[in-house]
């Protein structure tokens, strides 16, 4: 039996010692190599000398937090001229003399009717041929509109009276005819009412007395009140002779027409139906401002309304609706009432 077999444990321990010594040497040689390659000395034995953190690393967090701050560049002014942050004082070329730029402070108005100081005051660019017709704040009113109304052309919440942008598209009219019949005892009357193909009737069995409200059902339910009647002498155009006619006074109870009084001859002839017919009219409108252009809405005659419709205040009153025009009353903030007429197809009140 060989020595190794007899002394196996001693041989194993010796081999382990030789391997450990080899590994230790290899580590030491690498450490020396790092020092020579990078010209640095190995870290010392103190904890602070072995700190792997980057010097001043806390400044990175401070720099990142500074990006969260709100920083705003505001356009400065030089003698009331807006100063561009990149190209300096903005000047404009004179098309008649390109060697001499336009001076908005000292020069003549670049747009007739609007002083240069106005463009400077609101920082609106006057450098386009159609600058007066442009809408800087996109509220539906041109720069010229805002100058005339003394409103802020750069603020979409400050604009001229909206009625100037109201368009009358047309009317929706419902024709109706109320016909008093024969007079009964105590000044009572029978009535018939027609609107389209619908009919309402109060017959002789139950005539309406003075002060009574009628009809009981249908399109005209509870709409009319009999005030009374009186007899008058009128000229009959057909016979060229005077005749006595009973005129019946009726008060409308419809909310937007309450208080209106009609005088209608009793038992009038069929030939007079067209002359005595009346209308319930509604205006079809659109507001060409505030992004609402082209959106139709409807307002009945003798009804107050707001512009735009969702606004709480209702300073406008639709006084009259006709096929060719509407008449609107507007109460201003000063309490003064103005009357405006808008022709069909037109926008804004007619010029005085």
Per-residue model confidence (pLDDT) at position 45: 61
Per-residue model confidence (pLDDT) at position 100: 77
Full-model pTM: 0.69
Mean pLDDT of 126-150: 94
Per-residue model confidence (pLDDT) at position 169: 97
Residue 262 has pLDDT above 90, yes or no: yes
Q: Which of 282, 274, 277 is nearest to 257 (CA)?
A: 282
Q: Is there a contact between 144 and 132 (Cβ–Cβ < 8 Å)?
A: yes
Per-residue model confidence (pLDDT) at position 51: 66
- Which string of DSSP letters, residue by residue, matches 191-202? EEEEETTEEEEE
Q: Is there a contact between 308 and 287 (Cβ–Cβ < 8 Å)?
A: yes
Residue-averaged pLDDT of the chain: 84
242/234 Cα distance (integer angstroms): 5
Per-residue model confidence (pLDDT) at position 63: 78
Per-residue model confidence (pLDDT) at position 305: 95
pLDDT above 90 covers what percent of the chain? Answer: 59
Q: Is there a contact between 199 and 193 (Cβ–Cβ < 8 Å)?
A: yes
305/322 Cα distance (integer angstroms): 18
Per-residue b or e along 204-232, where b marks 16 or more CB atoms closer than 10 Å to that residue's CB? eeebbeeeeebbeeeebeebbbbeebeee
Instruction: Summarize pLDDT for 24-54 with one digit per residue, the tens.
Output: 555 555 555 545 554 555 555 666 566 666 6
Q: Is there a contact between 315 and 303 (Cβ–Cβ < 8 Å)?
A: no
342: exposed, middle or buried (Cβ count in 10 Å: 0-12, 13-18, 19+)? buried
Output the CA–CA distances (angstroms, integers) from residue 229 to 139, 251, 267, in the order listed. Answer: 55, 12, 13
Give the domain ranges of the chain.
78-131, 162-170+281-343, 177-276
Query: What topology does CATH give the domain 162-170+281-343?
Result: SH3 type barrels. (2.30.30)
């Amino acid at each position: 039996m060989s020595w190794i077999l007899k002394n196996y444990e001693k041989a194993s321990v010796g081999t382990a010692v030789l391997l450990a010594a080899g590994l230790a040497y290899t580590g030491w040689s690498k450490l020396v190599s790092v020092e020579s390659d990078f010209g640095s000395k190995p870290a010392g034995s103190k904890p602070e000398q072995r700190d792997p953190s980057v010097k001043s690393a806390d400044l990175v967090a401070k720099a990142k937090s500074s990006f969260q701050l709100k920083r705003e560049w505001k356009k400065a002014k030089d003698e009331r001229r807006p100063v561009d942050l990149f190209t300096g004082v903005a000047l404009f070329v004179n098309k008649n003399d390109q060697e001499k730029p336009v001076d908005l402070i000292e020069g003549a108005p670049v747009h007739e009717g609007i002083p240069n100081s106005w463009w400077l005051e609101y920082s609106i660019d006057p450098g386009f041929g159609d600058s007066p017709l442009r809408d800087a704040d996109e509220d539906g009113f041109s720069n010229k509109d805002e100058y005339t109304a003394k409103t802020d052309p750069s603020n979409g919440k400050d604009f001229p009276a909206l009625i100037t942008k109201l368009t009358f598209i047309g009317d929706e009219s419902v024709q109706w005819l109320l016909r008093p019949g024969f007079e009964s005892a105590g000044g009572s009357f029978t009535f018939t009412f027609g609107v389209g193909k619908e009919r309402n009737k109060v017959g002789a069995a139950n005539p309406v007395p003075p002060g009574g409200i009628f009809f009981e059902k249908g399109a005209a339910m509870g709409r009319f009140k009999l005030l009374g009647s009186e007899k008058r002498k009128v000229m009959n155009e057909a016979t060229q002779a005077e005749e006595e006619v009973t005129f019946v006074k009726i008060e409308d109870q419809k909310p937007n027409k309450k208080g209106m009084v009609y005088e209608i001859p009793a038992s009038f002839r069929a030939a007079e139906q067209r002359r005595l017919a009346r209308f319930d009219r509604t205006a079809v409108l659109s507001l060409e401002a505030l992004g609402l252009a082209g959106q139709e809405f409807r307002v009945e005659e003798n009804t107050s309304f707001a512009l735009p419709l969702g606004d709480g205040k209702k300073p406008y009153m639709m006084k009259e609706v006709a096929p060719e025009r509407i008449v609107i009353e507007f109460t201003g903030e000063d309490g003064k009432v103005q009357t405006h007429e808008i022709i069909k197809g037109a926008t804004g009140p007619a010029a005085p």
